[in-house]
Amino acid sequence: MAEVRLKNITKQFGPLTVIPDISLTVPDGSFTVLVGPSGCGKSTLLRIISGLTMPSDGEVMIGGEDVTFAEPSDRGISMVFQSYALYPHMTVAQNIDFGLRLAKTPAAEREARVAEAARILALEDYLDRKPGQLSGGQRQRVAIGRSIVRQPKVFLFDEPLSNLDAALRGQMRVELAQLHQSLDATMIYVTHDQVEAMTLADQIVVMNRGQIEQVGAPMELYDRPATEFVAAFIGSPKMNLLPGKAIGRDDVKTVGIRPEHLHADQASGDWPATAKVVETLGADTVVYADAGELGEITVRLPGKMRLTPGEQLFLSPERENLHLFDQDGKRMEDPS
Amino acid sequence: MTRGHLLRNILRVAFLCLVASFVLAPMVATVLGGFKSNAEIRTNAFALPASWNWEFYGSIVADPAFWRYLGNSMLISSVAVVLTLIVGAAAAYVFAQIKFFGSRMLFSYLLLGLMFPFATAILPLFIKVRDVGLLDTWWAVILPQTAFSLSLAILLFRTFFEQLPKELFEAAYIDGCGYVRFFWRFTLPLSAPILATVGVFVFVQSWNNFLLPLVVLNSREVFTWPLGMMQFRGEYVTEWNRTLAFVTLTLVPAIVFFLAAQKYIVAGLTGGAVKG
């Protein structure tokens, strides 16, 4: 277990700057999720922590030690890859065992650790199989088992669930959360899926174009997004971003309101709109409405509310849940 | 089965038989020729022999020289295969894994070797081998044979190695496995198909090579079988039946080697057989 600290990390690939300058602290024992759209530099950042990629400049500290130039195997980390990267010609047991073997761990201890990992991940019956004979979820577990046995200070996950189908993804998410609780280790997890980020993390790092937009607990990001980008990225359906004139403020460039913080009324309200598409999900109904020059507005309504496309309605935002952003997309304090 | 379907199948089979006969007819003639008298071979090359005459096969098998030629060929071909596989795979591994300055140029330079048959280089080759003092040794054939096989081997290996998932190396690297160990523990075991393919090419090429041994080998002690075969050629008379019997017997090891590796060759030629 250890704290991970990045100081002024930059990374260039030839003339292309992927990460201009990032400093970040991942607290000891936290589950930190790096999230952002494709190409935002989150995977590169993870690879810099792992040692697979060298930063162009800056320092990587793990557990208070400068490991910027250390080999990956000397950093006390382990990594789970998107494609699992299991060794196809080795059995599950050999796959899990491999790192320990290289580290010249005594045979008895190796066996004990493999057995323990297999027990935690329910892989006991598959130890003699080759990866090709396993299902996607089982392969993923083997990849995680390979990490666990090394007893690393920091676990790194590079989009580990994106190759699984939706049902399995949900299940593995729960297993990962349980694993984090039982191991109590520092975990850094990269994903582009904000649902994974919200459900797993104690700390989310939202990245965009190689820069950190905001670092915070999931609900903090949801309740008080620091930038327009975070506002749009976190939450589903997406937050509505409307021009400042929607609330009659010229100093505000953009005003954000989440679909669930809007009220709809057939008789009166702030913004007149026409329902275009109505999605009835049971518990709630999502309405995509056209509000004329304000643009399109998404509203999340209680499931019992029935609307038909083409119907006129009036939308009113909850004043206390308005998010205001200035010209630079930064949050403005005073949602008065 | 409809009539059209049947007809098409018959045509298909007929065509395959035709192609097969091109390959098989000379072989059959060779095998049968070993049983015939010289006169019969001239008059009736493809028919069954009038009487099955085992003496030519028998005398060759009984001749210790035959076994020596076969042994020499076997040794030279095997060492050439092993050397080509190890050196070629190691070089291709570097080209596939590591980006370094000039790697493309170096690779292109190696590929130039594809355009050089033995015949064009045979004289300088002889002079070099003589200068190094290897004339009349097995190495005089093994080393040039390996060198000439490397271009194709590296080309095929590199393509195959590049298809191995990159994350595999990264995962092993994090586990503490370096480049060299990865090569032995991962790259080679996962590349069995391509190793078998190249192995067969090199083996058969070396096994059948006539020109190079002819030029660099002089004493009967180190002769390979294609040279040994020449003993049946006199100035005035060629003993075709003995030659054919000899050839038949020497084909056997190459065929056995091919059959053993065949399963992998198909996979090697289609490629991409490894999933991460």
For residue B105, the domain's CATH number is: 1.10.3720.10
Q: The sheet that has A57-62: what strands, in order across it?
A: A16-26, A4-13, A57-62, A65-66
Over residues A159-174, mean pLDDT: 85
Q: Quick: pLDDT tens for B204-222.
A: 899 989 899 998 988 888 8
Over residues A229-249, mean pLDDT: 87
Measured between CA atoms, how close is A258 to chain B, in angstroms? Answer: 40
Where are any strands of DSSP class E within chain B?
none
A150:B175 CB<8 A: yes
Q: List the single residue in A with minimal CA-CA distance to B190.
A: A89
Q: Is residue B185 part of a domain?
A: yes
pLDDT at residue B274, as a whole number? 39
Measured between CA atoms, how close is B199 to chain A, in angstroms? Answer: 21
Q: Provide, as residue numbers in chain B, all residues whose Cβ is less than 8 Å from the Cβ of A150.
A: 175
Q: Quick: pLDDT tens for A116-126.
A: 888 888 888 99
Domain encompassing residue B191: 61-270
CB nearest B170 (choices: A52, A88, A150): A52
Q: Is residue B101 part of a domain?
A: yes
Q: Which helix (H) or strand (E) holds A180?
A: helix A166-183
Residue A33 has pLDDT above 90, yes or no: yes
Name every residue whose Cβ is closer than 8 Å to that of residue A66 and which is 6 or more positions away in sequence. Answer: A59, A60
CB nearest A85 (choices: B170, B177, B274): B170
CB nearest B176 (choices: A86, A102, A132): A102
Q: The sheet that has A254-257: what strands, in order across it?
A: A240-243, A254-257, A323-325, A331-332
Q: The sheet that has A271-280: what strands, in order across it?
A: A262-265, A312-317, A271-280, A284-290, A296-302
Measured between CA atoms, how close is B257 to chain A, in angstroms? Answer: 24
Q: How many CB atoms lie within 10 A of CB B50?
A: 11
Please state, rounded to an integer, the average pLDDT across all residues of chain A. 89
Q: How many CB atoms lie within 10 A of CB B43?
A: 9
Q: Is residue B11 part of a domain?
A: no
Q: Is residue B136 part of a domain?
A: yes
Q: What percent of chain B has pLDDT over 90?
A: 32
Whether B184 has its CB under 8 Å from any CB of chain A: the answer is: no
Q: Which two tokens stand for residue B73?
A: 């060929």
A99:B275 CB<8 A: no
Q: Which two tokens stand for residue B274?
A: 């490894």
Q: Quick: pLDDT tens for B34-43.
A: 888 888 888 8
CB nearest A85 (choices: B167, B181, B190): B167
Residue B270 has pLDDT above 60, yes or no: no
Q: Quick: pLDDT tens for A299-315.
A: 998 877 778 888 888 99
Q: Quick: pLDDT tens for A63-106.
A: 988 999 999 988 989 999 988 889 988 999 999 999 899 888 89
Q: Provide, as residue numbers in chain B, all residues whose Cβ is less than 8 Å from the Cβ of A102.
A: 175-177, 181
Q: Which of B167, B173, B174 to mutate to test the interface with A (most CBs of A within 10 A)?
A: B174
Note whether A160 and A86 are within 8 A (CB). no
C-alpha to C-alpha distance for B61 and A109, rounded to whole angstroms: 59
pLDDT at residue B265, as a whole number? 72
Cross-strand bridge partners of residue A203? A32
Over residues B127-148, mean pLDDT: 91
Q: Provide, as residue numbers in chain B, all residues whose Cβ is less than 8 Å from the Cβ of A88.
A: 190, 274-276
Amino acid, res. B34? G
pLDDT band at B269 (very low <50, low <70, confident <90, very high): low
Q: List the single residue in A with minimal CA-CA distance to B177.
A: A102
Which is nearest to B224 in space by CA: B80, B57, B35, B58?
A: B80
Task: Give the count of domains, chain B.
Answer: 1
Whether B272 has its CB under 8 Å from any CB of chain A: the answer is: no
Residue B55 has pLDDT above 70, yes or no: yes
Size of interface A-B (CB pairs under 8 A): 59
Q: Is residue B158 part of a domain?
A: yes
C-alpha to C-alpha distance for A317 and A261, rounded to whole angstroms: 6
Q: Quick: pLDDT tens for B67-105.
A: 999 999 999 999 999 999 999 999 999 999 888 888 899
Note the helical H segments in chain B: 3-33, 38-43, 55-62, 64-97, 103-112, 118-132, 139-163, 166-174, 179-182, 188-190, 192-208, 211-216, 225-228, 240-270
Measured between CA atoms, how close is A44 to chain B, in angstroms? Answer: 14
Q: Is residue B3 part of a domain?
A: no
Q: Which helix (H) or strand (E) holds B66?
A: helix B64-97
pLDDT at residue B268, as a whole number? 56
Residue A110 has pLDDT above 50, yes or no: yes
Q: Which of residues 123-182 of B touch A (CB under 8 A)?
A: 165, 167-168, 170-177, 181
Note whether A253 and A330 are within 8 A (CB). no
What residue ranges define each of the domains in chain A, with the CATH number in brackets?
A: 4-230 (3.40.50.300), 238-332 (2.40.50.140)
pLDDT at residue B9, as a whole number? 92
A87:B167 CB<8 A: no
Tokens 């003699």 belong to which residue?
A: A128
Give buried/exposed letters for A267-283 (b at 16+ CB in 10 A, else e). Answer: eebbbebebeebeeeee
Q: Provide, as residue numbers in chain A, all residues whose Cβ is less than 8 Å from the Cβ of B175.
A: 73, 98-99, 102, 146, 150
B171:A103 CB<8 A: no
Please state, rounded to an integer, the average pLDDT across all residues of chain B. 87
Measured between CA atoms, how close is A15 to chain B, in angstroms? Answer: 17
Cross-strand bridge partners of residue A265? A314
- Identify the weakest region by mean pLDDT among A220-224, A249-253, B54-58: A249-253
pLDDT band at B271 (very low <50, low <70, confident <90, very high): very low
A81:B170 CB<8 A: yes
Over residues B158-187, mean pLDDT: 89
C-alpha to C-alpha distance for A106 and A325, rounded to whole angstroms: 59
CB nearest B174 (choices: A73, A86, A132): A73
A88:B177 CB<8 A: no
C-alpha to C-alpha distance for B162 and A187, rounded to whole angstroms: 31
* Three-class DSSP category at A33: strand
Q: Which pairing describes strands A211-216 and A312-317: parallel, antiparallel, or unpaired? A: unpaired
Q: Which phi and psi angles does A84 have, rounded to 5°?
A: 70, -40
pLDDT at residue B95, as a whole number? 92
